[in-house]
């Protein structure tokens, strides 16, 4: 019976004839692709699967011999842990302020660099992008010196106007503006993609608008901005996901303490603290999967809104 079924299936399927050249190309395609597949499996897929298993256990790095299956206890602990809610609220609150700024500032810079009358445009483009290639850890220490309340240049500059600058990194109120300012260091990529998007806008649209008497603001609002919405959307998604992963800057500045007053205890920092400081790998993996799920839902929501405000020209 099985043989008959297979024979029928063989008859029903139209086997596509593949030329030797196509087979040779496909074989070498898989050969060149295999390093990426190997890396993806070893460094992403297998660790993700392992962390999912860990989230259902009480796995402690210091005592792996005591590991046992505990079902959903780690997930239930999330609802009893007040630091989870606090750290998630800190992450979302910071994101609500930082994400718009991370889009508006590079958009403004790209608009400036796209101006035809700007002198030394390439020089300014290089200078604005240059901070992006500086290693992040070095940049954080530079900013730490810049924001020092006694010797920092920012407070010295404010003092020239009779303003006493705050203790930026040790104030519960001012630490968030300080973190946002440090984030300016990495806006070069967003600025460059937006500038490329602006230069791809068809020139005839601008010419037609000028013939109709449109001014700079009208042209920017009705032509430039709608035409680069795919680029803005791309940077928005990256920025939101990046803020869910926000970790390195508060870690370098304050370590795992979350100082000042727990204001920098972002969700990702709390996750790392549970997993690698307290060695509670099971609970840390649970926090990681919850963060992954929240980021996934947020990204899907953003994509669902794209049809209402992102403009794709024909052929895109």
262 burial (CB, 10 Å; 0-12 / 13-18 / 19+) is middle
Alpha-carbon dihedral sign for residues 92, 97, 100, 102: negative
Question: Cis ω on the peptide bond leading into residue 260 (within 30° of 0)?
Answer: yes
Per residue of the chain (316 residues), what is the pLDDT tens digit?
A: 444 544 544 544 455 567 888 888 889 998 999 999 999 999 999 999 999 999 999 999 888 888 999 999 999 999 899 999 999 999 999 999 999 999 999 999 999 999 888 888 889 999 999 988 888 899 999 999 999 998 999 999 999 999 998 999 999 999 999 999 998 888 899 999 999 999 999 999 999 999 998 898 999 999 999 999 999 999 999 999 999 999 999 999 988 888 888 899 999 999 999 999 999 999 999 999 999 999 999 999 999 999 999 988 765 4
- Which residues have a Cβ under 8 Å from the Cβ of 6 and sit 6 or more positions away? none
Other Cβ atoms less than 10 A from the Cβ of 286: the count is: 28
């Amino acid at each position: 019976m099985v043989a008959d079924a297979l024979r029928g299936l063989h008859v029903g399927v139209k086997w596509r004839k593949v030329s030797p050249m196509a087979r040779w190309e496909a074989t070498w395609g898989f050969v060149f692709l295999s390093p990426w597949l190997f890396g993806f499996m070893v460094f992403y897929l297998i660790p993700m699967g392992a962390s999912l298993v860990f989230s259902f256990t009480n796995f402690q790095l210091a005592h792996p011999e005591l590991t046992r299956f505990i079902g959903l206890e780690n997930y239930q602990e999330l609802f009893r842990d007040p630091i989870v809610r606090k750290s998630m609220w800190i992450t979302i609150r910071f994101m609500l302020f930082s994400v718009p700024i991370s889009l508006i500032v590079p958009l403004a810079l790209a608009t400036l660099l796209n101006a035809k009358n700007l002198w030394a445009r390439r020089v300014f483009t290089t200078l604005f992008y240059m901070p992006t290639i500086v290693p992040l850890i070095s940049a954080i220490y530079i900013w730490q010196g810049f924001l020092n309340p006694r010797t920092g240049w920012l407070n010295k500059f404010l003092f020239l106007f009779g303003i006493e600058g705050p203790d930026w990194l040790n104030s519960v109120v001012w630490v968030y503006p300080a973190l946002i300012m440090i984030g300016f260091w990495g806006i070069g990529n967003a600025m460059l993609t937006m500038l490329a998007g602006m230069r791809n806008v068809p020139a005839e649209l601008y010419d037609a608008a000028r013939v109709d008497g449109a001014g700079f603001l009208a042209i920017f609002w009705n032509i430039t901005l709608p035409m680069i919405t795919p680029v803005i959307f791309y940077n928005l998604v990256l920025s939101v996901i990046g803020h869910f992963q926000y970790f390195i800057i508060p870690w370098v500045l304050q370590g795992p303490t979350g100082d000042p007053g727990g204001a920098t205890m972002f969700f990702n920092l709390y996750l790392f603290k549970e997993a690698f400081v307290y060695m509670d790998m099971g609970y840390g993996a649970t926090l990681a999967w919850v963060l992954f799920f929240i980021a996934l839902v947020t990204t899907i929501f953003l994509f669902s809104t794209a049809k209402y405000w992102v403009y794709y020209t024909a052929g895109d």
